[in-house]
Amino acid sequence: MRGHIAKKGEKYYIVVDFDRDDNGGKRKQKWFSGYNRKKDAEKAMPDILSKLNNGTLIEPSKKTFGELMETWLDDKKTSVKYGTWTSYNWLVHRHIIPHLGKKKLTKLKPQDFHDFYHKTLLKTLAVGSIRKAHVIIMDALNRAVTWGDVSVNVASTVTLPKGKKMIFEVLDEHQLKLFLDAALNDQYYLAFELATSTGMRQSEILGTSWKDTDLKTKTISVRTAYTLDEEGYTLDDTKSDGSVRPIALFEDTVRLLTSEKEIRAKVIANNEFYKDSGLVVQTSVGTPVGPRLLMRHFYRILNQIRKEHPTFPKIRFHDLRHTHATLLLKAGVHPKIVQERLGHSSINITLDTYSHVLPNLQEAVLRGIGDSILGTRKEVAISTETPTLLN
């Protein structure tokens, strides 16, 4: 294997001649890059020859960034939940490919991604969504490194824009009672009560079966979720392994579930057209409840409340989960317990999400300990002697 410098037009190239034995008896040449100066080509040639010899040379890829992202999306479709994949698909086709897709992989620079995050996405997306786009891009470029398309992930050094955390609404104790009282006669009251008393996700509530509900031990085991796939909604595994968890139930929730189970048994026995799906929350004919149907009932209840209480918070269904966690933390429940009930993969997620509640918790804890770290309370001595006046 030998190398020499050749000029073509205004550029200089490194030309490598392979020995016939190295290439199965056939003569072969490879041309590398175009250098503006001959001395730049001469300087780069030893490194290229060395990498060719030991097999570590990564040749410039002809792929565009858009082609990489399409391949990445296809691969991801078989390794993540369909709902998660659709959010990836939206970010890739709505934002990433339209702005960066035509660039060659080898031409990408850190500044391309810096400008994309700070000047393009920040105008239209929340910081959380920009972080998600960055995670997608990082994973795709890391694969490109593994596949030998590029030698380095140029997005790894980019600093993401900072912004305010998403502010969610939670109900206080009085507002929560208003909501539950208004929902009491609704067909799906049980779903709303479970959301506020267990902190379960909507998909988990709609996917919970009676076989995973133990009224003797007063627990629900979260194992399945009613989630979206390519053919519609279906029962599937939970969001992640960390989402599989037991949740202890309040006494009121146990009584409600016991009553519902007894009523359900009578309906099944007396209605031959009832198609029991075995789920705790189901329609009047026994089939699973779709999220859209549940949301119609949810917003009907909220509209009913606002007619009498116009200042009632405009919450989402997911805010019932936030309400559950916030009220537990305010009541002094340890964040680790809250993490386990919510199914967060790490206590850091819980602490970060509900950090606005924690300062009040610190004050309450310190009051409980005492006047010092030793836990003692000092009595202030009040003197009964008449003070001496100095002239």
Report the pLDDT value the prediction gives residue 241, as an integer from 0 to 100.
Answer: 59
Report the pLDDT value the prediction gives residue 390, as an integer from 0 to 100.
Answer: 43
Q: Give the domain ranges of the chain.
A: 2-50, 65-146, 173-201+259-335
Tell me the angle at which helices 318-330 and 189-198 cross, rounded to the nearest 10 degrees: 40
CB neighbours of residue 110 within 10 Å: 14
The string of DSSP codes covering 192-219 is HHHHHHH---HHHHHH-BGGGEETTTTE
Q: Are strands 213-214 and 11-18 parallel, antiparallel or unpaired?
A: unpaired
- Could you give the CA distance from residue 212 to residue 222 in angstroms, rounded to a whole number? 7
Residue pair 170/316 in contact by the 8 Å Cβ criterion: no
Report the predicted TM-score, pTM, of the whole model to 2 decimal places. Answer: 0.68
Q: Show pLDDT as tens, one digit a residue, over the chain (391 residues).
A: 778 888 888 888 888 887 665 555 566 777 777 678 888 888 888 887 777 777 655 555 678 999 999 999 999 988 888 888 999 999 999 999 999 999 998 889 999 999 999 999 999 888 889 999 999 999 999 998 887 788 789 999 999 998 766 678 899 999 999 999 999 999 999 999 999 999 999 999 999 999 999 999 999 999 988 886 666 677 777 656 567 899 999 999 999 999 999 999 999 998 888 889 999 999 999 999 999 999 999 999 999 999 999 999 999 999 999 999 999 998 888 999 999 999 998 898 888 888 877 666 666 666 667 677 676 665 545 444 544 444 3
Tell me the angle at which helices 291-308 and 189-198 cross, rounded to the nearest 10 degrees: 90
Secondary structure class of 15 (helix, strand, coil): strand
Across the beta sheet with 28-35, what order do the strands follow? 2-8, 11-18, 28-35
Q: Using alpha carbons only, how large is the chain's radius of gyration in Å?
A: 32
Any idea which architecture 65-146 has in CATH? Orthogonal Bundle (1.10)
CB neighbours of residue 25 within 10 Å: 8
- Could you give the CA distance from residue 230 to residue 321 in angstroms, rounded to a whole number? 27
Q: Kindly state the tokens that stand for 183.
A: 């929902």
Report the pLDDT value the prediction gives residue 76, as an integer from 0 to 100.
Answer: 92
